[in-house]
Structure 1
């Protein structure tokens, strides 16, 4: 009998601002993949879902690998190597890769795989701490005494960003979220509801030295108005536009930014290998000292991965959303 495993494919693209539903996903039974020369077979144990996946399901192309109808979805996952033709990753080792949404995955390219520890650290390996670190340490260059704003502060990136900003020396950290009551436990001094951006001025009367933005839209526009001279703005995402199914455009007062010498920088964590090594070292030190945690929600079973993503987009989860594949 031919061995099989389960995968989740895109059944239909999501148009405009329409949220995804179960009908956009298809759970299928597929032949068990096998390894070729230099490849490894990974038994996925944990995967994660993120709001950015809604964009990849859409009908408006973005500069990222889009999901296509009839093909398996993809995303970060960790698991155990169960078959290997790669001496660097022998059977029994744990690895991280981007072939989630399936029980077993063949990984062919060395750059597509990296070491990981076991299941107990899933929230660390699949969380967005690296993105938060690169944005704050490299793109925004947080300095001791800075006043920092993080938008989307209860999301997978924001849940780490407030803590990391504090660990890098920030004196005052403000976060915006649809769930502001969650933020005091995540390193934020002041929590502002994302529906009330006018409160940002009261949260930081002297303005912001750093803006770490994951949302875009009116929040970013308000934040730019409140930048201090020499401020650094790190652009990480555009959730407001992604969920609305519209272009990520924000009105900017260019002369104000020029006059204040404000730096605006978009970034992706994958562009900074040196920072990745720094993050690995600092993360271990901060965790050992009990100064950094990774809030997460755990969902069991590949079949419930679509529901996990749907609920995340609807704002029912905060932090990293993990899906266990027992």
Structure 2
């Protein structure tokens, strides 16, 4: 018999900041799985800043969502029916099929996850998933981090930024400075996560705040924010500074082109390297990442925090809150209890 699902669809393309009217929750009937397919009950889904770009009509590195299409993103679920010998019933799987409670999927399009004692399924969407690998790739490959480097991270209290700072500290950074959007996030970074210094970017010009936090300058910048933060980092760099450009959330809802840094001439005199990247181009580092990060997690050397919202109905509010900085650590939406 057909499988009933609840799914979020894109109802309209936003102009500026998205609103709830840009989304629509529908009930659909999906056919029984064919040979090679599985039925997955979603346990937890991810909302991520990059999803804002998928709402636009223009070309982006991730395929855009079409009007009336059920949206996609990372989710972890349990297989409740299988017509594939490769993915048995009961398996825990990672799929690009978030924004719904149940999905009928081709078995070839999911990855079977290991059952890790004491590790919540949601960690496969955060510290052990795309955000964790993004932090690893950006810091070690793109920014070419070396022991003794002074590191600055924008959006430091988010899923990626909080891990960048910890990886740098654990690998011998001389200083780790972060920016965040609330006093509570600043305290979390310095008192629990292990950042050397942190500041609330609302407290003044970012360039002044960064100079006060890193008076000797920085060697590495991991950029999640862009705009004023990128300009401040360029000003604070020592010679041969390196930046990994991961995101620019400060401009995601802009309706006009965002001005670039006004001090780009310093790239020449300081001999800087600024490199943008998409984590999907660096899948060859996943083996190294999976080898080194889980032991840091199980030993307690990594601090992980999640902002958890409950139920599929709360997926859109969670996403909108994420774009406004309403998360500390990884934002996830729990869809079902095990």
TM-score calculated relative to the size of structure 1: 0.92
How much has 1:249 moved relative to structure 2?
5.0
CA distance in 2, matches of 1:35, 1:222: 53
How much has 1:33 moved relative to structure 2?
4.4
Secondary structure of 2:253's match?
helix
**Deviation string for 1:1-34 (max 9, x for gaps)?**
744111111111111x2x2222222111111343
Name the residue aligned to 1:134: 137
Name the residue aligned to 2:89: 91
Does the aligned pair in 2 maintain the 1:33–1:105 contact within 8 Å? no
Name the residue aligned to 1:14: 14
How much has 1:265 moved relative to structure 2?
0.9
How much has 1:129 moved relative to structure 2?
1.2
How much has 1:61 moved relative to structure 2?
4.0
CA distance in 2, matches of 1:241, 1:97: 29
Does residue 278 of the first structure (1) align with residue 276 of the second (2)? no
Alignment of 1:110-125 (within 5 A): 110=108, 112-117=109-114, 120-125=119-124
CA distance in 2, matches of 1:270, 1:248: 26
How much has 1:211 moved relative to structure 2?
0.3
Does the aligned pair in 2 maintain the 1:41–1:81 contact within 8 Å? yes
Does the aligned pair in 1 maintain the 2:2–2:32 contact within 8 Å? no
**Deviation string for 1:134-187 (max 9, x for gaps)?**
111111121111100000111121122211111222120000111223321222
Secondary structure of 1:205's match?
coil
Name the residue aligned to 1:63: 61
CA distance in 1, matches of 2:256, 2:62: 16
Q: Which runs of 5+ in 2 are unaligned?
A: none
**Deviation string for 1:226-270 (max 9, x for gaps)?**
111121110000101103344455235444212322111111221
Q: How many residues align?
A: 323
How much has 1:295 moved relative to structure 2?
0.8
Relative distance call for 1:2 and 1:273 in structure 2 (3 A) is closer
Range with greater deviation from structure 2 (114-123 or 93-102): 114-123
Does residue 225 of the first structure (1) align with residue 249 of the second (2)? no
Match for 2:196 among 186, 189, 197?
Answer: 189
Does the aligned pair in 2 maintain the 1:96–1:113 contact within 8 Å? yes
Name the residue aligned to 1:173: 176
Does the aligned pair in 1 maintain the 2:40–2:79 contact within 8 Å? yes
Name the residue aligned to 1:262: 272
CA distance in 2, matches of 1:88, 1:3: 22
Does the aligned pair in 1 maintain the 2:87–2:107 contact within 8 Å? no
Secondary structure of 1:244's match?
coil
Does the aligned pair in 2 maintain the 1:123–1:294 contact within 8 Å? no
Alignment of 1:19-58 (within 5 A): 19-58=17-56
Does the aligned pair in 2 maintain the 1:81–1:92 contact within 8 Å? yes
**Deviation string for 1:64-105 (max 9, x for gaps)?**
211222111111100112233433322211111211001122
Runs ≥4 in structure 1, deviation > 6 angstroms?
none
Does the aligned pair in 2 maintain the 1:144–1:171 contact within 8 Å? yes
Secondary structure of 2:266's match?
helix
Does the aligned pair in 1 maintain the 2:142–2:244 contact within 8 Å? yes
TM-score calculated relative to the size of structure 2: 0.89
Name the residue aligned to 1:146: 149
CA distance in 1, matches of 2:239, 2:105: 47
Does the aligned pair in 2 maintain the 1:123–1:320 contact within 8 Å? no
